[in-house]
Every structure is written in structure tokens, then in C-alpha cells.
Structure 1
Amino acid sequence: MTEAADVIYAGGTIVTIDDRNPSATALAVRAGRITAVGSRDDVVAAHQGPGTRVVDLDGAALLPGFLDPHSHYINSLTVANQVNVFAPPAGPGADVEAILNSLRSFRDSHRVPPGEMIVAYGYDDTLMPDGRTLHKDDLDIDFPANPVLVGHVSMHGAVLNSAAMRMFDITADTVTPAGGVIVRKDGSTEPDGLVMETAFLPIFAAMPKPTPSEEIAWSRAGQMLYAAAGITTAHEGATHAADVELIYRAAEGGATLIDVVAYPFILELDEVLQRHPAETFGSYHNRVKLGGVKVTLDGSPQGRTAYFTTPYLTDGPDGQHNWCGELGFSQETVNGWFKKVYDLGLPLDIHANGDAAIDVALAAHEFAGAGDLGKDRLTVMVHSQFVRRDQLRRYVDYQITPSFFTPHTFYFGDAHVRLRGKAQADFLSPMRAAIDIGLHPTNHTDFVVTPLDQMFVVWTAVNRISRSGETIGADQRVTALEALKAITINAARQYREADTKGSLEVGKLADLVVLDDNPLTVDPMKIKDITVVETIKEGSTVYRA
């Protein structure tokens, strides 16, 4: 006899992301798992009991909960205590004065005392009118006593004021490390404010962390940001050893609204392995698991620090001529990293934006995987924004999954045309080409580089429209279903969780999202306007609009 369901959802559209059973009119859940997907009459007849709650979707759409293929979850813990200076429409940072106004408003409304640090996120120098960018001197005028750090939209750097420079011991005598950028004032070695890439890594690692009493509350607040976007599995994309422990501590204390998958940074892997041996990776504990290891090879194309085989069409971030970006580490070093991770049997996430960085990654794969290059190691090329067609074919041969970043077509597409040229910009995050040769790409926000908004992610993959209204690679558009798969079943495969997540099938976890419209049937240009009504993790509501 069939046990009665805890809840049955009906009265709307059910998008299963299951090619064998693409749609249904009812879904039943018991004990956190899906027990039936089918017609309303059949599901109700077989699974409704005296205690079953029947939820009327009232015309809304029910889908699998979204899996976040790549973002920086740890940043969500502090975003509520930081200043949003994204350019419109994501934030108020239209120009330097608007950024300064936002910083002043935050300081005054939060009554920030002298000496306390102020942090902002989302600064996009490529969108500043007339090329008037933010400098240290701009920040010093209003913030002589507060260290101020304005995070670059790439998350690979920041503009610091003088107090922050002192805090992190950056002076005219500081040597710029290989692969790093410390922009200097014209005609001198005095730092001008912008610090990026390997020069920024020690600053990022030394940023203030929540106190033990704040960790649980901040973690739950961060998870709610994901849940509000319909995400039931979040990604932590480059985790420092101390943050690994923070995530586990917060989960032990009750920050378990959604699943979190963390990827320790290669430079701190040995420290992480002391407490979390390789054999513990891949298993959840209190809804947290270590998914693999993260390696970062280059920077961001909009920050002109991504590594290319051909020069940018403008000078580098510090005025470098004939600038291709640069690799922060030698090929030999990268080869050693790959071999270490592969020998441990762990999945590997590789940050690579420019085609030259991807060449380095592929060469390292060939070195470390020699003898079985096509083994499924769960290797993911994160971003892969300016991948070439010949490189995509090697992804197929080597079973490398691209995790694309189509929100760039909107947020930075116009900048890419200016920096890299129209032809290369049109092949940005080429989802259509990847799918057509048999790959199963995922697609992400890289939060806080772009906002957590899964419907906007889908919209960008389907439409590929820039801020200015230009089309960025019409031939790389995908269908709404393909775009949804990139944040559901394909992302579940990326985590080796397709047996429990990513589609609405009997036996899988009841990780669900209710949307106020169906992305498969609305006008493609209106997909971005669809809102999340409810997010359900293993049968329990964690977010309701």
C-alpha cells in the first residue's frame, strides 16, 4: 500500500527538467523526497491521505530548486554589512560621485565610528562616464580616518584609501608581485588606489571576519539571499582554510537552510587536508560538503587581467602597452597543482577566463592526467568566457565541464566589445557551441560579481543583450529549457548529485522552487521579470516572498 504524501502540489505548471517526463500537473512529497510526479488525478488518488496537505499553485510554475554552479557564498555573510556600488540597474554606482554618496550615506546611517573599516562591492571601472575612475584621493577627502575598501566588480581587486593602504601595509616601496597590479600615480611609485590579482590576495585573506557570536546569524542571512533566488544548493568558489572551518561551525550551530558546497583554494589545501582528509570530500555533514579544489589562473576580462594569446585593444590596468594580461604562476607550478589534486582523486575547479589561461589549464591537464586524459575527474573550467572552438573540442575529449558566465553579456558585453573586439565578444560564454558538440555546460552569477538572480542568468543565456541593447553573439543563444538545465540538472552533474537533485523525479530530494510564471512559455524578453514565490528545501519552505 502506498504511504500518504505529506504534501501534494497541483493547480499550476510543473516543469520537471526530466526529458522522459517533461511536464506534469501534480507532485507528491513525503519525508523530504519526491514520491510521485504525474497527472493530478493519478497523484491525488494514490498519494492523498487524511493528513496530506494539498497546495494549490494557483497557476504558478514548480521547478527543481536551482543549483548554483559558481559563486562566492562566503561573501554573502558580509554583504548585508557592506555598501552596494554596482552600476545601475543592479546598484547606484553610476559614477564616482554616486559611489562616494553611497559610501557617505552608509557611514552616516550606520553611524560608523572613526577607525572602523567600510567595505563596498561592485565597482565597475569600465562603466565610469568619460573614463573618470575611482582613486585613493577621492576616498581620502571624506574618509581620512576610516579604512575604505571598494571592491572591484571582478572580485579580483579593490580601490583602497590611504587608511586602508596603511592597514594592509601598502606603500610606495611595496614591490608589485608577479601576476599582480598596484596602480601607481603618474610619475611616481605612490599607490593610486587600485590593487588587483596576486597583490590583492593577502588583503582579501586578511579582511575582517564575523565574530563567533555573529557567524550563525550572518550565515543564515547569507543563505537566505540564495534561497530568495530559488537556490537550494550554494557554491563557495575559492575557500580559505579559516572559512572552511567557519562554514562548518555555523552549520553545526544551525545555519542549515540550504546545502553549501565549498572548494578550498589550492594554496591552502594542505592546511584544509589536516582536518578534512581527501576521503571526506564529497560527503555532506550538516548540509555542508567540500566539493573539490579551486585553482585560479588569471583575472577578469573587464578588469583587463584575464590572460589572452592576443593583446587587448586598450592599454593594461597600469597603462601597459600591447597588454595580454599575465599568468600569476608558472606552467610548471600549475602542472604540479593539477597533479596533486588528480593524485588525491579530488574534483578540480579552474578559474580561467582568457584563451591563454585556458591553454595553460589544458596543458596542465595533459601533464597531470597523462595516460588517461579522458577520465571523468569532475574537472570544471570556471567562466571559460573566451574559450576558443578548438579548446571546446578538447573539453569534450578530456571530459571537462565549462561553467559559463552569460550575465557578462549584459553587464560587461559592451566593455568586452571595446576591450577585445566584436568577433571575440560574440563568442563570449558560447553555450550554443558547447551544447552542440555534446557538452553539458552550467551557468553562474559569480556572486558578488553579479547579483544572485537565477532568472536573470536564464534571460542572459536566452537573449544575450548588453546594457546598451546590443546583441552579443546571437548564434550563441540557447533555449529557455537549455538555460534552465544549466542551473539544475547540469549543475547537479557538476556536483555528482544528479541522482538526488536537478530534476523532479521520484526518489529525488524535494528541493523545489515556485515561480510566478513559466520560463518556458513567457516572452523570452520577460524571463528576467519572473519572480521567486517560494523555495523549498527537502520538503520544508525556507523562503516565501
Structure 2
Amino acid sequence: MAIFVSILYLTLTRISIKKLLSIVFIAFLVFACKDSESSKAVTENNSKSVSTVYYNGDIITMSGETAEYVQALVVTDGKISFVGNSDEAMKIAGSGHIMIDLKGKTLLPGFIDPHSHFINALSMSNQANCSPSPAGNANDVAGIVEALKNIQTEKSIPEGELIMGYGYDDTVMPEGKLLNRDDLDAAFPNNPVLVMHVSLHGAVINSKAMEKFGVSDKTETPPGGIIVRKPGTNEPYGLIMETAFLPIFERLPQPSEAELAQQIKDGQMIYAEAGVTTAQEGLSHVSDVIILKKAAENNALFIDVVSYPFITELDSVISTYGVEAFGNYNNKFKLGGIKITIDGSPQGRTALFTTPYLTGGPSGETDWLGESTFSQDEVNIMLKKVYDNGLQSTFHANGDGAIDMCIKAHEFASNGNPTKERRTTIIHSQFVRADQLDKYVEYKMIPSLYTEHTFFFADAHIKNRGLEQASFISPMKTAISKGLKPTNHTDFNVVPINQLFVIWSAVNRVSRNGEVIGADERISPFQALQAITSNAAYQYFEEDRKGMLKTGLLADLVILDKNPLKISPMEIKDISVIETIKEGTTIYKKE
């Protein structure tokens, strides 16, 4: 399953080297012209720095273990030059400074994304949002069709061209009425249509798409694959999943040079609109690294992007760029470390546990524990290679069985020094046990948790694992009480980049049905903010650059219309991002 996801990410962005070189050349010309036109202005600005003073709002520094408010913040040359009282701020700002009246709004450090898949954002602007509420408005078949029709009109997609959507969640469709081929045929008789499942592991396609991708009643279901057939026939009818979907995905059309350039901009804006100033590309292949490095070299990035190449790409990345390329930004792009995937997803019943699923395996297996992507010996060798090269590792591990494998690999690979400060991060850590959290503390590991599952997938977890175990998913409070610095992520685009919803889910832990899932693991709004600011900066070894409002740190800022620390916890998700500022420059401002 995890290998499938890796191939999926690779295929999403796969383009030829020749095409990449063309993109780079075109982008170089565009930015060269832009730089030439603006060079005079830049020189003039550099010769006389103008400070900006933010005041008259709730300015929260995030620099301690409790909320600290200051009267004013001064930004000079893209960095914070002062944090404190208003009178001193005016003196520090000097003559000719700019005053920004917050008018009671809230100023915070820019949000830091601890884990998502930035590359996936590049194609989303050309696809229909077929997600149910609150991620979208496609709450039934009619809503999905409407979303697809809207994108067809908006993008002027002609007859015969592929129409794509994302976010279809079959687990919440009303009265069990699932999307099928006939629904899509009736609405789009002349266009191939593909609607991605929310898991990114499959899709529903119509008849025209089946013709395009060579799928028919003669197509056999491969091992590890799923093809839903029309009742009483052998005709593919609904979801095509896992290994059965790979041949389709590998044949999806790739963007043109112009489209890719626009997608890089559009993808960043998805993050900027959510107040995010640092994003993660959480499982990169060489093709992804090439795209991002060239975008950086051509000054096309306006937020920071941290890339974690997949373990199978380690040799290629090191041979191309060298170990020294890791850990340092180049025009807002950084290779952060290496990603190792251990298991699949708990809702898909492919996460690895030490006790059986209550519902069996995805193909009816009994006493099903899930499965690992690699053997323990393979993971041991992989991680040792990462550590021997002095690199940070992030693991994908959901089930407690997978987390056991991470801990054992760490002990094997650490050369007799498992307590060294490596900040190895266990992405998801959803079903982590309390004793495993103790190992995280001992080994200075970081849990990057995923509290939005308490909303989006709680029912599936309760069904598969039982209420007691499901109530301990993403145990933020326990992790904090043990002295850990947990972060909290979206895994975008599995769920949207919405940092206020991330905070809301950690504070409330309320499911779609309005039930509290694990009341004992609810945390304060301030602790939830730490998980996407100061703690997230620590995860990236960047606590000396961002995540707090302190003198000398980057002026990465976000302005909210309300203070999440001062309103009802249930209202936090309704807070709006008013403005996002990267190194002193506004990159998003709400109309």
C-alpha cells in the first residue's frame, strides 16, 4: 500500500528531463526579465531600509510555554528587529517607518506545515473539489457532478478532454448511494472523467475514461487490487483501487511547461491562503526535487518548501546533489532529510498493528494485523544508511506494529548512541502506545500527529479498532505531558490545508457525528498553536529562524481576524486568515 502511494506521488509529477530543461529555460527568461525591470527598485530599497511597525492587536509571540502578548512588533529587511512595547518600537523603527494598525486582529508567527505533499498541490487548481463538507460541497452524487461541471466550465475543457476531480469519500455518501460509471456517463457523455478517491489510492472513472485507459470487462483484477463490477456483470462500475489503479495513474496526462509554471504559483497560494509560510513535500522523488530546485533557482518560490526524498531515491539524490545539499535553504527550497514508509493507512486497513483488526483484512483476511512496506531487516539497513550520512529521517508509521519497527530500526542504526539529537520524526504516529511515547522521549524522537482523523475518519477507526484504541489516536496531551514537542499536520491533500481546523480538531476532538473522540487527549488552543509554530520549527531544526516572534528571526507572520485563545473552542475553525507575510512581504491578503 505504501509503495503504491510512493509510486502515485512519483507519477503525479513525472515529466521528462528534456521537458524539465525546457521549463527551466522558459522560467529563466521570465524571471531574468522581471529581475532586470525591478533591479533598480531593489537597489534603492536596499540602500535605505524602511521598517514596519505592527500594533493595536493581539500579538502573540509563541516564545514560551504560555501565551505572551506584546504591544508592537517591528520588521526590518525581512526580519523581526524588535518585539515589545509601543514606545520602544517607535524608537527602533526610526524615521520614515510604516505603521500597520491591526485594529484588534491577531498577529502570530506564520504557520509551519509539519507534513503534507506540496507536489500534489500543483495540479489541484485544474481539478474539481469533489470532497464532502467541510472540505468541499460535494456531499452526494449530484454534488460531485456539479463540481465537475463547474471545473469544466471554469477551465473551458472541450469535448474529448479529460475532466478530473479529487476528494471522493465513499464512506460518507448518504444512504450508501455511491458514485458509479453510469452517473458520470449521464453527465459527461463526451468527456473521459476521473474522480480521485480521498485516499489517493484509486478513482471512479466513466466509460470514455475506460476506453482511454484500456479498462474493460476483460480487465482482470490484479493481486492487491480492487475493481468494483456492475452487479451481475464483469463490467467495471465503481472504484478502481490499489494495484488495479496504477496502470491508469501512470497514463495520466502531464502538464505543459506553461501549465507547470502556473501550477507552482497556484500550489503555493493554497498554502499562503491558509497562513502557511513553510510547506513540506513529504515524499519526494528525483523528478519532484528537480522541479522544486529549478523553481527555487528561478526565484519562483515565495514560501519555504522542505523536501524529504523517499528512501529509494537516496543514492540518486546524493549522487546528484551531495550530502551537503541537505539542511540549508537555497532561495526558499531545502532538502530536509529522507522519508521511509513503514505501513499503510488505518482506515484502509493496511496499517500494521500488533493486534488484529476487528473487521478483518481488506480482502477478507482473518486475524489480519496489516502489513509493512519493508521487512525489519530492510528498514534497519535503510535507516543506518540515512544516519551514517548524517541526515534526518522521517518515518510514515500509523499502527503500533509499524511504530515498533521504527524504534527497533533506530536502535539498530544509531551506532550505539540512540539518544543522540537526531529529531527523527514519526509522521502520523496515530496509534502510538504510551510505552512507545516513552521511547520517543528517551530517543529524542518527534511525533507528528494527525488529530484531524478524530473528525474525518473516527467512525472507520472505531469500527476497525474499537472505541478504546480509537480514542487514543494522535494522543497530543499524553505526548506533551511526557515532555515531547508534538507537531500536528494535515497530510494534504488527503484533507485540506486548513491550519485553523487543525487547531480546532486538537482542542475539541469532535467527529463528523458530533461525538468527542478521546476527551482526555484534548489540549489547549495555545498548545495546538505550538504544534504548528514553535514545535514545527523545532522539527525542522529551524527554531533559530522561525516559529516564534523574536528579535532576529524571519518575519514570517500571519494575521487572523480573531484570537483562537480568546473565543469559544468550537468557534476556532471559523477563524479567517486575513494576511500572510513571508520575510516581511505580503504573499496573501484576503479581499
Could you tell me the TM-score, scaled by structure 1's length? 0.92
Question: 1:130 and 1:371 mapped to 2: Cα distance?
Answer: 56
Q: Given that residues 16 and 504 in structure 1 are in contact (C-alpha distance below 8 angstroms), is that contact kept between their aligned partners in structure 2? A: yes
Question: 2:150 and 2:222 mapped to 1: Cα distance?
Answer: 33
Q: Given that residues 227 and 244 in structure 2 are in contact (C-alpha distance below 8 angstroms), is that contact kept between their aligned partners in structure 1? A: no
Deviation of 1:322 (Å): 4.1
The amino acid that maps onto 1:330 is S
- Work out whether 1:30 is the aligned partner of 2:63: no
Question: 2:171 and 2:212 mapped to 1: Cα distance?
Answer: 27
What is the CA deviation profile of residues 4-50 of structure 1, one whole-angstrom value per residue up to 9, with x for unaligned ones?
86111111111000118822010111111111111112222x21322
Q: Would the alpha carbon gap of residues 367 and 206 (structure 1) be closer, same or farther in structure 2, given more than 3 Å must change?
A: farther
Question: 1:189 and 1:265 mapped to 2: Cα distance?
Answer: 37
Match of 2:279 in 1: 234
Q: Would the alpha carbon gap of residues 524 and 494 (structure 1) be closer, same or farther in structure 2, given more than 3 Å must change?
A: same
Question: 1:195 and 1:339 mapped to 2: Cα distance?
Answer: 37
Q: 1:271 pairs with 312, 316, 320, which one? A: 316
Q: Would the alpha carbon gap of residues 192 and 381 (structure 1) be closer, same or farther in structure 2, given more than 3 Å must change?
A: farther
Q: Which moved more, 1:480-489 or 1:308-317?
A: 308-317
Q: Given that residues 352 and 399 in structure 2 are in contact (C-alpha distance below 8 angstroms), is that contact kept between their aligned partners in structure 1? A: yes
Deviation of 1:249 (Å): 2.0
Question: 1:376 and 1:360 mapped to 2: Cα distance?
Answer: 20
Question: 1:33 and 1:22 mapped to 2: Cα distance?
Answer: 20
Q: Would the alpha carbon gap of residues 184 and 411 (structure 1) be closer, same or farther in structure 2, given more than 3 Å must change?
A: closer
Q: 2:88 pairs with 39, 42, 62, which one? A: 42
Q: Given that residues 79 and 555 in structure 2 are in contact (C-alpha distance below 8 angstroms), is that contact kept between their aligned partners in structure 1? A: yes
Q: Given that residues 181 and 196 in structure 1 are in contact (C-alpha distance below 8 angstroms), is that contact kept between their aligned partners in structure 2? A: yes
Q: 1:90 pairs with 112, 124, 135, which one? A: 135
Q: Given that residues 221 and 227 in structure 2 are in contact (C-alpha distance below 8 angstroms), is that contact kept between their aligned partners in structure 1? A: no
Q: Would the alpha carbon gap of residues 401 and 299 (structure 1) be closer, same or farther in structure 2, given more than 3 Å must change?
A: same
Match of 1:181 in 2: 225
Deviation of 1:435 (Å): 0.6
The amino acid that maps onto 2:568 is D
Q: Would the alpha carbon gap of residues 341 and 448 (structure 1) be closer, same or farther in structure 2, given more than 3 Å must change?
A: same
Question: 2:553 and 2:426 mapped to 1: Cα distance?
Answer: 27
What is the CA deviation profile of residues 392-446 of structure 1, one whole-angstrom value per residue up to 9, with x for unaligned ones?
1111122211101111111122332223221111101000011111110000111
Question: 1:527 and 1:124 mapped to 2: Cα distance?
Answer: 25
- Work out whether 1:442 is the aligned partner of 2:487: yes
Match of 1:354 in 2: 399
Q: Given that residues 404 and 441 in structure 1 are in contact (C-alpha distance below 8 angstroms), is that contact kept between their aligned partners in structure 2? A: yes
- Work out whether 1:255 is the aligned partner of 2:300: yes
Deviation of 1:382 (Å): 0.6
Task: Give SS of 1:92's match.
Answer: coil
Match of 1:327 in 2: 372
Q: 2:429 pairs with 370, 375, 384, which one? A: 384
Match of 1:286 in 2: 331
* RMSD after superposition: 2.6
Q: Given that residues 456 and 528 in structure 1 are in contact (C-alpha distance below 8 angstroms), is that contact kept between their aligned partners in structure 2? A: yes
Q: Would the alpha carbon gap of residues 332 and 174 (structure 1) be closer, same or farther in structure 2, given more than 3 Å must change?
A: farther
The amino acid that maps onto 2:374 is F
The alignment covers a number of residue pairs equal to 540
Any stretches of 5+ residues in structure 1 without a counterpart?
none
Match of 2:40 in 1: none
Question: 2:365 and 2:499 mapped to 1: Cα distance?
Answer: 37
Q: 2:116 pairs with 71, 76, 86, which one? A: 71
Q: Given that residues 128 and 150 in structure 2 are in contact (C-alpha distance below 8 angstroms), is that contact kept between their aligned partners in structure 1? A: no
Q: Which moved more, 1:322-331 or 1:193-202?
A: 193-202
Deviation of 1:310 (Å): 2.6
Question: 1:189 and 1:318 mapped to 2: Cα distance?
Answer: 18
Match of 2:586 in 1: 541
Match of 1:221 in 2: 266
Match of 1:415 in 2: 460
Mapping 1:503-518, distance limit 5 Å? 503-518=548-563
Deviation of 1:505 (Å): 0.5
The amino acid that maps onto 1:445 is T
Q: Which moved more, 1:64-73 or 1:339-348?
A: 339-348
Question: 1:360 and 1:506 mapped to 2: Cα distance?
Answer: 41
Q: Given that residues 4 and 47 in structure 1 are in contact (C-alpha distance below 8 angstroms), is that contact kept between their aligned partners in structure 2? A: no
The amino acid that maps onto 2:271 is Y
Task: Give SS of 2:123's match.
Answer: helix
Task: Give SS of 1:283's match.
Answer: coil
Question: 2:280 and 2:510 mapped to 1: Cα distance?
Answer: 26
Q: Which moved more, 1:93-102 or 1:131-140?
A: 131-140
Q: Which moved more, 1:126-135 or 1:478-487?
A: 126-135
The amino acid that maps onto 2:381 is G
Match of 2:389 in 1: 344
The amino acid that maps onto 1:305 is T
Deviation of 1:58 (Å): 0.6
The amino acid that maps onto 1:6 is S
Q: Would the alpha carbon gap of residues 240 and 198 (structure 1) be closer, same or farther in structure 2, given more than 3 Å must change?
A: farther
What is the CA deviation profile of residues 205-253 of structure 1, one whole-angstrom value per residue up to 9, with x for unaligned ones?
6644332222222111111111111111011111121121112222333
Task: Give SS of 1:478's match.
Answer: coil
Q: 2:565 pairs with 503, 517, 520, which one? A: 520
Q: Would the alpha carbon gap of residues 318 and 15 (structure 1) be closer, same or farther in structure 2, given more than 3 Å must change?
A: same
The amino acid that maps onto 2:496 is P
Q: Would the alpha carbon gap of residues 214 and 278 (structure 1) be closer, same or farther in structure 2, given more than 3 Å must change?
A: same
Question: 1:195 and 1:304 mapped to 2: Cα distance?
Answer: 17
Q: Given that residues 228 and 240 in structure 2 are in contact (C-alpha distance below 8 angstroms), is that contact kept between their aligned partners in structure 1? A: no
What is the CA deviation profile of residues 246-280 of structure 1, one whole-angstrom value per residue up to 9, with x for unaligned ones?
12222333322111111112223333333222210
